[in-house]
Amino acid sequence: AAGVIQSPRHLIKEKRETATLKCYPIPRHDTVYWYQQGPGQDPQFLISFYEKMQSDKGSIPDRFSAQQFSDYHSELNMSSLELGDSALYFCASSLDEGTIYFGEGSWLTVV
């Protein structure tokens, strides 16, 4: 079965640069979520979209933005990157408030 696809899997950026992560949810899923997991920490909810509209907002910095496109893929844009943004970023998707399925994550390293 198709899973949540994230790209790129690994990304290295310098401080103050911009990074964009992409997420392709499971086909026909109507909700996309973004989570951030720092080293040794639990995943923290950032933001979610339901049918292309923002639905919930968590601890997402103002430097970050996200959107869901007409084909339901989503992008997380991160600007003015800081060392502390280095983390594993997960995208997840679900259908009709059902089980949430996670992708394998995108590793962002800020140097």
Closest CB to another protein among residues 9, 63: 9
Task: Please say whether the dihedral angle defined by the alpha carbons of residues 5, 85, 40 and 43, taken in this order, is positive or negative.
Answer: negative
Taking the complex as a whole, the smallest distance from the CB of residue 45 to another protein amounts, in Å, to 6
The DSSP-derived string for 56-103 is EE-S--TTEEEEE-TTS-EEEEE-S--GGG-EEEEEEEESTT---EE-
**14 near another protein (CB under 8 A):** no
| Binding string, residues 36-65; x marks residues near another protein by CB under 8 A | ------xxxx--x-x----xx-x-------
At which residue do the structure tokens 């399925």 appear? 101
Q: Which stretch binds another protein (CB under 8 A): 12-20, 62-70, 75-83, 97-105?
A: 97-105
Binding site for another protein (CB under 8 A): 4, 31, 33, 35, 42-45, 48, 50, 55-56, 58, 88, 90, 92, 94, 97, 99-105
